[in-house]
């Protein structure tokens, strides 16, 4: 059985459904990817590496991970901190705004839970996935330990996958983000990059510019996403362009890239070619954006790609 682990933060999501009433769910970039991967590729074992609290909502989050068929062996429970939380609101024009309470979340201290025993047990993974958000939330003083941890996994033959999701408010400034993204690009074997995330940091505006930025770091497998525009891939010294069928009734683009990543990685771990994996991933993302929220009802994505 292929094994993959997603490292990052899952948060409590609150969304107004009617006056004085909030709907509560769970979401977070790498968590969303893990859910879509397990839904579509039950034969791949997917784990979450994160820290939550010991409070009621944290316990519910862990229960949800289990219901999602995720391996929770690397979900650690902090004694004093809790999960991050955000409120997502939509105004009359459909514009979304987010308010976060995550600066003291348990996940920021994830490195304090990683012992040699965990490193040994993670060394038999096929792939380890993290994002720009995963790096941003790690306490700055713990980042060096994080890079060492990744280097160790890589030296054991684990493929390192990086999605450079960029959230400006999580970084001190742009140069701090660039230094860390450069390190991630230098270390990873696979990158699943969105053009928009890299525009302000690197001044790149097109998929071709993102591709050449990633190629400078000698990354073996590069996938560049750009909303409804073609996806570009680079693998085995071959550059391919993959057409996307634009969705006309877009409801909510939250987690389009995450769903794409989960299905792409699941397909690749199941032996699909780059072109087939991108085709499945784009179908999945196309379904996700036609429904509200990060995680759409079970069955929809599975049916679309079957
Ligand atoms: P992110 O969520 O990381 O910003 P993108 O917006 O680039 O990611 O979208 C990721 C993938 O979702 C795209 O490569 C594409 O497959 C799909 N997608 C996004 N927007 C559309 C759209 N309007 N029509 C069809 N597919 C889309």
pLDDT in tens, 144-186: 999 999 999 999 999 999 999 999 999 999 999 999 999 999 9
- Of 163, 236, 258, 276, which one is the catalytic site residue? 258
Q: Is residue 294 part of a domain?
A: yes
Q: Is 178 in the pocket of ligand 1 (CB under 6 A)?
A: no
User: By alpha-carbon position, which residue is closest to atom 20 of ligand 1?
Assistant: 227
Q: pLDDT for 253-279, tens place per residue?
A: 889 999 999 999 999 999 999 999 999
User: By alpha-carbon position, which residue is closest to atom 19 of ligand 1?
Assistant: 227
User: What is residue 215's predicted lDDT score, i.e. its pLDDT?
Assistant: 98
User: By alpha-carbon position, which residue is closest to atom 10 of ligand 1?
Assistant: 257
Report which DSSP code applies to 170. Answer: G
Q: Is residue 3 part of a domain?
A: no
Report which DSSP code applies to 158. Answer: P
User: By alpha-carbon position, which residue is closest to atom 22 of ligand 1?
Assistant: 228
Q: pLDDT for 87-134, tens place per residue?
A: 998 887 767 889 999 999 999 999 999 999 999 999 999 999 999 999
- Distance CA(5)–CA(128), nearest Å, equals 5
Q: Is residue 239 part of a domain?
A: yes
Confidence of residue 227 (pLDDT cuts 50, 70, 90): very high
Question: How buried is 30 (Cβ within 10 angstroms: 0-12 exposed, 13-18 middle, 19+ buried)?
Answer: buried
pLDDT average, residue stretch 203-218:
98
Q: Is residue 1 part of a domain?
A: no
Measured in Å, residue 280 CA sits from the centre of ligand 1 at 13
User: By alpha-carbon position, which residue is closest to atom 13 of ligand 1?
Assistant: 227
Q: Which atom of ligand 1 is nearest to the CA of 278?
A: 16
Measured in Å, residue 247 CA sits from the centre of ligand 1 at 9
- How many independent structural domains does the chain possess? 1
Side-chain-side CA neighbours of 287 within 13 Å: the count stands at: 21
Measured in Å, residue 240 CA sits from the centre of ligand 1 at 17
Measured in Å, residue 32 CA sits from the centre of ligand 1 at 15
Q: Is 69 in the pocket of ligand 1 (CB under 6 A)?
A: no
User: What is residue 91's predicted lDDT score, i.e. its pLDDT?
Assistant: 81
Helical ranges in 203-273 per DSSP H: 207-215, 256-269
Q: Is 164 in the pocket of ligand 1 (CB under 6 A)?
A: no
Q: Is 225 in the pocket of ligand 1 (CB under 6 A)?
A: yes
Contact present, 65 and 59 (Cβ < 8 Å):
no
- Distance CA(45)–CA(70), nearest Å, equals 7
Q: How far is CA 49 from CA 4, 139, 186, in A?
A: 10, 16, 22
User: What is residue 92's predicted lDDT score, i.e. its pLDDT?
Assistant: 79
218 is catalytic: no
Q: Is residue 83 part of a domain?
A: yes
Write down the residue that tokens 């459904």 correspond to. Answer: 17
User: What is residue 179's predicted lDDT score, i.e. its pLDDT?
Assistant: 98
Q: Is residue 162 part of a domain?
A: yes
Q: Is residue 60 part of a domain?
A: yes
Measured in Å, residue 136 CA sits from the centre of ligand 1 at 23
What's the CATH code of the domain at 300? Answer: 3.40.1190.20
Query: pTM, whole model, 2 decimals?
Result: 0.97
Q: Is residue 78 part of a domain?
A: yes
User: What is residue 259's predicted lDDT score, i.e. its pLDDT?
Assistant: 98
Average pLDDT over all residues of the chain: 96
Domain that holds residue 216: 9-305
ipTM > 0.95 (yes/no): yes
Q: Which atom of ligand 1 is nearest to the CA of 250?
A: 23
């Amino acid at each position: 059985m292929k094994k993959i682990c997603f490292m990052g933060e899952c948060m409590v999501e609150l969304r107004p459904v009617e006056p004085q009433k909030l709907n509560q769910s769970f979401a977070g970039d790498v968590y969303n990817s893990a859910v879509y991967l397990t839904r579509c590729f039950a034969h791949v074992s997917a784990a979450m590496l994160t820290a939550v609290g010991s409070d009621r909502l944290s316990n519910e989050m862990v229960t949800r991970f289990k219901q999602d068929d995720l391996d929770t062996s690397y979900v650690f429970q902090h004694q004093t901190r809790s999960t991050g939380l955000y409120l997502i609101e939509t105004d009359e024009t459909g514009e979304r705004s987010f308010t976060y309470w995550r600066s003291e979340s348990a996940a920021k201290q994830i490195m304090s839970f990683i012992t040699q025993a965990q490193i040994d047990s993670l060394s038999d993974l096929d792939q380890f996935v993290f994002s720009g958000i995963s790096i941003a939330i790690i306490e700055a003083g713990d980042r060096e330990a994080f890079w060492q941890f990744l280097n160790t996994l890589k030296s054991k033959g684990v493929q390192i996958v990086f999605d450079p999701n960029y959230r400006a408010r999580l970084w001190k400034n742009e140069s701090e983000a660039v230094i860390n993204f450069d390190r991630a690009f230098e270390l990873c074997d696979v990158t699943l990059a969105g053009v928009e995330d890299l525009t302000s940091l690197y001044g790149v505006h097109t998929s071709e510019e993102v591709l050449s930025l990633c190629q400078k770091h000698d990354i073996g497998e590069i996938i560049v996403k750009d909303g409804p525009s073609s996806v570009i891939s680079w693998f085995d010294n071959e550059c391919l362009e993959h057409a996307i069928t634009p969705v006309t009734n877009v409801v909510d683009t939250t987690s389009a890239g995450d769903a794409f990543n989960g299905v792409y990685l699941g397909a690749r771990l199941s032996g699909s070619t780059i072109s087939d994996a991108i085709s499945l991933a784009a179908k999945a993302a196309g379904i996700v954006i036609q429904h509200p929220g990060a995680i759409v009802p079970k069955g929809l994505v599975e049916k679309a790609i079957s």
